[in-house]
């Protein structure tokens, strides 16, 4: 495999970090804390491990780091079951570690975004434990969805809703009442109609903003509000998630008033009057408009996703429609156009993402035939998958808006599809229904060095076993290798910083191209992505900036191999 580099830019703090609207074209790197770096050798990643690797992320060239949950939690769903939103789970460290991580990141020109889980808590949250202990009639039960059951003796669930993890969305407690959980039984849903819930989360926001975080990724942002009366699915047309309409427990219009209230709080902090550095931060570019909300909002259409990013609500929303699109020129052009058209009226930037902690890594998805979904159990053609993944990355980074990178994708990591049953950790795997439960494959700790019991992840082993061939995929092995995926990412992010037309704006100018090829102009920049199975000849649009594979130029034309993306500067 070969690639070409014709432009570089320093990977240090850029002018973007000093802009108040840095988030509009930011590249944001997702860290899954338990799988990034282990500082104490217990096999589990932690905050101190992340802190020591921040220079790597700075040099990679990203603008911000999004941390998946590290709160106090029984870990029934890998931290998405929060027992205390103001505490760090001991497996990850403590609040001092969080404070030092935030400060060090800021010193390196990186921003920190933390996960917020407002749809549900852990069943070990103090509110829920007291609600169960106090029995029917407890005021704390109103902060969740407790209901009497149906049937002669209340032996049937209150309605026919099903958990995303499989089985009924209701669990019965010893006194006979039932509580709602759209996910695992250990994750009871909050009742957002109760004012105490809203008060609590506004306080939580302020707690972490005062710690100095730069934003929040909102888990299940579409799920907080349920339809009035909790009606049966059988009484609705809307019976499938991501179907043609809205389900009574997802994407209800009432969520938007919650986010309008939250936005007021974030705007209060836009002057950085509070936070770890206080007024001394003035003049450094961090003081205005720097804090953001990012929605995980699974909606039926991109147009409904746009509702979450209106000017008085959230700043960004993940583009799951793009993530779910096959490596196909026509399909990609369609979702790109729909995304840009949907975001333009609300003035929000588009976002682009290829992988995260809940789906099969795109190097493996693209190695398999399309149509298998986002959780895939076969390795497929790994060389083909990596070629397409590299090309897809350059395409994504050339689009207007903000891009998300999931840890390890810059190494070209595939999913680990052959984990033995006895080592799996995904709670959905053990439920026997609902989700496939194969998310462990994208959560295996990443390799840093060629050698060591966990390839530099830590001094001990790792909580999920790493494949034996990952030594050659490690950061150490790829650093300095001009053909490596890591150096492709470093170069791509450097070029993106150096080229003002990359990332900015809200439109692309499509150019004529052969079948199976996407070609578009953005100012003085042209991107060509060949998704087809054969090499094609296109114009050589200017100075070759970067290519994911070997490109031959002659007489004003370029031969672009299959599954290759090319960047040109036209001036």
- Residue 135: closest CA among 83, 81, 179, 192: 179
- 478 sits in the region (left: phi over 0; alpha: psi -120 to 50; else beta) called alpha
Task: Respond yes or no: is residue 268 known to be catalytic.
Answer: yes
Which residues are 172's β-sheet partners? 178
Decide: 564 and 25 in contact? Cβ < 8 Å. Answer: no
Decide: 372 and 324 in contact? Cβ < 8 Å. Answer: no
Torsion sign, CA atoms 86, 89, 90, 93: negative
Torsion sign, CA atoms 263, 267, 270, 276: negative
Rounded CA separation 59/13 (Å): 9
3-class state of residue 197 by DSSP: helix
Q: Are strands 552-554 and 557-560 parallel, antiparallel or unpaired?
A: antiparallel
Rounded CA separation 485/545 (Å): 16
Decide: 409 and 355 in contact? Cβ < 8 Å. Answer: yes
Torsion sign, CA atoms 294, 296, 301, 304: negative
- Residue 347: closest CA among 458, 506, 536: 506
Which residues are 293's β-sheet partners? 216
Task: Respond yes or no: is residue 219 known to be catalytic.
Answer: yes
Q: What is the DSSP letter of 145?
A: T
Q: Are strands 351-353 and 402-406 parallel, antiparallel or unpaired?
A: parallel
What's the per-residue H, E or C state across 456-486? CCCCCCCCCCCCHHHHHHCHHHHCCCCCCHH
Q: What is the DSSP letter of 553?
A: E
In 198-315, DSSP assigns E strands to 215-218, 292-295
Decide: 238 and 252 in contact? Cβ < 8 Å. Answer: no
* Ranges of H-type helices in 310-375: 320-323, 329-343, 362-365
Catalytic residue among 126, 175, 268, 553: 268
Rounded CA separation 280/7 (Å): 36
Query: What six digits make up the tokens of 269?
Result: 């902090």
Name the helix (H) or strand (E) containing 11: none
Catalytic residue among 97, 123, 219, 426: 219
Q: Are strands 178-180 and 557-560 parallel, antiparallel or unpaired?
A: unpaired
Active site residues: 219, 268
């Amino acid at each position: 495999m070969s690639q070409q580099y014709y432009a570089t830019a320093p990977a240090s703090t850029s002018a973007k970090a000093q802009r108040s609207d840095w988030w509009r074209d930011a590249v944001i790197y997702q860290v899954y804390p338990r799988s990034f770096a282990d500082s104490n050798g217990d096999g589990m990643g932690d905050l101190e491990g992340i802190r020591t690797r921040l220079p790597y992320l700075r040099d990679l060239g990203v603008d911000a780091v999004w941390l998946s949950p590290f709160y106090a939690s029984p870990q029934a769903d890998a931290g998405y079951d929060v027992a205390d939103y103001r505490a760090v789970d001991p497996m990850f460290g403590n609040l001092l570690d969080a404070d030092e991580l935030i400060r060090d990141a800021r010193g390196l020109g990186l921003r920190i975004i933390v996960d917020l889980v407002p749809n549900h808590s852990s069943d070990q949250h103090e509110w829920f434990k007291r609600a169960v202990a106090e029995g029917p009639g407890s005021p704390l039960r109103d902060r969740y969805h407790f209901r009497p059951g149906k049937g002669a003796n209340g032996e049937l669930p209150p309605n026919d809703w099903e958990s995303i993890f499989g089985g009924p969305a209701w669990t019965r407690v010893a006194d006979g009442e039932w509580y709602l959980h759209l996910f695992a039984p250990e994750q009871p849903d909050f009742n957002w109609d109760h004012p105490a819930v809203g008060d609590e989360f506004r306080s939580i926001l302020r707690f972490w903003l005062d710690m100095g975080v730069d934003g929040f990724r909102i888990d299940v942002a579409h799920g907080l509000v349920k339809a009035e009366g909790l009606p049966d699915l059988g009484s609705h047309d809307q019976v499938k998630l991501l179907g043609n309409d809205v389900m009574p427990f997802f994407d209800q219009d009432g969520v938007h008033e919650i986010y309008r209230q939250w936005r007021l709080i974030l705007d209060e902090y836009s002057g950085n009057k509070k936070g770890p550095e206080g007024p001394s931060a003035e003049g450094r570019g961090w003081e205005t408009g720097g804090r953001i909300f990012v929605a995980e909002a699974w909606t039926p259409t991109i147009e409904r996703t746009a509702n979450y990013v209106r000017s008085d609500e959230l700043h960004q929303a993940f583009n799951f429609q793009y993530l779910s699109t096959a490596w196909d020129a026509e399909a990609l052009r369609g979702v790109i156009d729909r995304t840009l058209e949907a975001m333009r009226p609300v003035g929000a930037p588009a976002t682009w993402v290829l992988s995260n902690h809940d789906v099969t890594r795109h190097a493996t998805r693209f190695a398999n035939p399309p149509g298998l979904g986002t959780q895939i159990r076969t390795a497929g053609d790994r060389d083909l998958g990596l070629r397409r993944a590299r090309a897809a990355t350059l395409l994504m980074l050339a689009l207007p808006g903000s891009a998300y990178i999931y840890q390890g994708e810059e190494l070209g990591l595939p999913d680990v599809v052959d984990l033995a049953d006895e080592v799996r950790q995904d709670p959905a795997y053990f439920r026997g229904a609902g989700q496939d439960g194969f998310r462990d494959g994208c959560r295996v700790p990443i390799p840093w060095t060629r050698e060591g019991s966990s390839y530099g992840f830590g001094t001990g082993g790792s909580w999920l076993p790493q494949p034996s061939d990952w030594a050659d995929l490690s950061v150490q092995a790829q650093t300095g290798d001009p053909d490596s995926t890591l150096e492709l990412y470093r170069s791509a992010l450097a070029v993106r910083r150096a080229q003002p037309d990359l990332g900015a704006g809200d439109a692309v100018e499509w150019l004529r191209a052969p079948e199976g090829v996407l070609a578009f102009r953005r100012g003085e920049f042209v991107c060509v992505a060949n998704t087809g199975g054969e090499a094609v000849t296109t114009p050589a649009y200017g100075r070759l900036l970067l290519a994911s594979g070997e490109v031959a130029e002659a007489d004003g034309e370029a031969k672009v191999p299959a599954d290759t993306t090319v960047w040109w500067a036209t001036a």
